[in-house]
Chains A and B, each alone.
Chain A
């Protein structure tokens, strides 16, 4: 097709014990939307960091517009016309949009001129944004717009986007794609990193697939099915969780008018959340991060106490019970943040088993701990959930994200919960591990337990949920059977539209 903008030639980068990139070569043409596809740990991040000047390659070379290109720092990359929108935003919540953008500029213009520029760019590209608003008040999608506009003000030749849709509702995704297509039509190249295959198939015309640091293919994603792409990514045939037919059992957990004031300045409050959870079902709770997911989990797990009757188990008040008292009753939870919340990073897996399993697995008597039994339990979790680690003596932070997540979920599942609440169970987990985790949740429900899955991943919720509700600004929509929803309706719910109808 058209001329090459950026050419990578044999880029390699290794860290102690891992080869992050192994002689990766490909080209990005001008005005091309190029997908970079791969599982977690396949080397996508390292590769773009090399392009953006954050990491120096060990070997290999790059050419930008025919000139040799070796950025020593991001500033050099930006000067050469490369801009990047990171997955995690670096914005100050207490500052306005314009102030945040000015902070990232080398020579910011006067604030009035900058506001005009922001308004102009935001109109041109269909990204409505008021430069005077505080970032703390913006939704995740709006925050992303701030980052994109920050990049567009530099007039880049190549825009790198790292997992841009992971925090967006389907409607916001559509807006984003319109913007990206407009940019493309003006000749800007886009390097689009994602593991969401359908998106890539609708947006991109070329895809480079990485696996274990090596390039496995460059192809046209529109000519391949999502399944083919996934199998190239994983290098194996995939097993999807089996769909189940579920008859709802009796109500086991009930929340009535559960409310919680915000726990911090930019925290979310919970507003009158009511639901009934039945035995044998998986209740999917969708929503964009920051809409009360963490708070809901904390209320259900007992980390935050509420009025006694706000939460009932089998008709008994439990809202005032501490986490261990609830565990004794069979209410278990796995929070989103693996390291530092679900597990202590510098403690080994035996100690991390003790962390939640002390009560139900009877790992203590009269306050004295039985480490031998804890070690055996940790070993059982490792064996049954295929956690790849040398053994229970490994510290939690030495495990990869997917393996630690398998451990965290396995630790709760093997305690035979009556109710299990998980938040983002497969966030940042590779496809094979994610499938295994989802299957284990379904198996648990099949055995009669009730499961609540809080997730941002709609595909995941559609795959495993029996019933579904959306959490938006701390309010829970009406719960309905998953089968009744289309993707569009879910998108509207996540955006806060009423569920009626």
Chain B
């Protein structure tokens, strides 16, 4: 009989092995799903994981990896802080939208003035927008004890409505022949989040993502605040005993994750996307939840996980066009990654044993 037994202390080896195993299991599980859909599983897996990096057109896909990975990493770093402390911000998608609207709104308001201060102001406003949107669940939770999971998630749909209203109303391009959507910020030099080197995919969002990773790592490993975040997640009562003010921690976790999500939204709208439009948000805020867990809530793990997830996005798009895989299949594939990770995670804290039981009567 198989038996599960708690380890005296969590296994470090399995902590590192689990994500790798989860990726392999996802390849197998996803391959089976693709086969059931009537596609060649080996080809599909090759297209998703290999082609974006090493195929003939990799020169186009590789920069895409950074462009898609940066917002995921930026958001996931923020989320991971809260997740470690048991504060569940599920509404990063909404904070991402509001951050983008704040920054883009400012740029559209001052258009066509050219100034070096415009882009930095947009960055600050983007972070502020996400921060304020996250303060709604934070204040409701600390004052009235509401559940931040529900409130933050609901606010995503409010943000989407706001986005739609802005694209069709206030921020609509007056010279856009009545089409929905704002002016394209890519054509507004002072507001454009351009690539730092042409063709590299490196824009300011990538730089900020990297800074966030390093910053988060130092904070968690060396700073009192990071220690208190980890302590609260491990044991809220012990944290209170250690002098942690739980309400302040909730405000910090939601606020910082909101600000980072807002930044991600701002860099996206001022760069790769360019336009306030109904279909601006593509689910980075939700995918970042998977990225945070896939990266073990560890900043460098999140960086790798963000790049991996970006790979499945890009590979998934190629597979959609070349193999005709439905986009839902790609989403299911990404979901499998989290599913298998959580399953394999059992091995970090538990041992599986063959139990020999003999009863003598």
Contact = CB atoms under 8 A, between A and B. Distances in A.
B143 interface: no
Interface in B214-231: 222-225, 227, 230-231
A368 B218 CA distance: 9
A368 B235 contact: no
Contacts of A341: 235, 237-238, 241
A84 B10 CA distance: 35
Contact of A70 (B5, B237, B361): B361
B361 A355 contact: no
Contacts, number: 85
Given A68-B361, A322-B245, A398-B9, A364 B224 contact: yes
Contacts of A369: 222-224, 227
Name the interface size band of chain A.
35 or more
A469 B345 CA distance: 50
A59 B360 contact: yes
Interface stretch (A157-165, A237-245, A252-260, A343-351): A343-351
Interface residues of B, number: 26
Interface in B1-59: 5, 8-10
A354 interface: yes
A343 B237 CA distance: 9
B361 A346 contact: no
Contacts of B359: 56-57, 70
B279 interface: no
A27 interface: no
B243 A346 contact: no
Contacts of B231: 344, 347, 351, 355
B110 interface: no
Contacts of B238: 340-344, 355
Nearest to A371: B222
Nearest to B218: A368
A11 to B, nearest CB: 10
A306 interface: no
Interface string B88-115: 0000000000000000000000000000
B5 A16 contact: yes
B242 interface: yes
A395 interface: yes
9 shortest A-B CB distances, which residue pairs? A324-B243, A323-B243, A344-B234, A344-B235, A395-B9, A398-B8, A344-B238, A341-B237, A70-B361
Given A324-B242, A358-B242, 4 more contacts: A60-B360, A335-B241, A341-B235, A351-B230
Interface of A: 16, 56-61, 68, 70, 301-303, 322-324, 327, 333, 335, 337, 340-347, 351, 354-356, 358, 364, 367-369, 371, 394-395, 397-398
Interface of B: 5, 8-10, 222-225, 227, 230-231, 234-235, 237-243, 245, 357-361
28 contacts: A56-B359, A57-B359, A57-B360, A61-B360, A68-B361, A70-B361, A301-B241, A303-B240, A303-B241, A322-B243, A322-B245, A327-B243, A341-B237, A342-B238, A344-B231, A344-B235, A344-B239, A345-B234, A345-B235, A346-B234, A347-B234, A351-B230, A354-B227, A355-B238, A367-B224, A368-B223, A394-B9, A398-B9
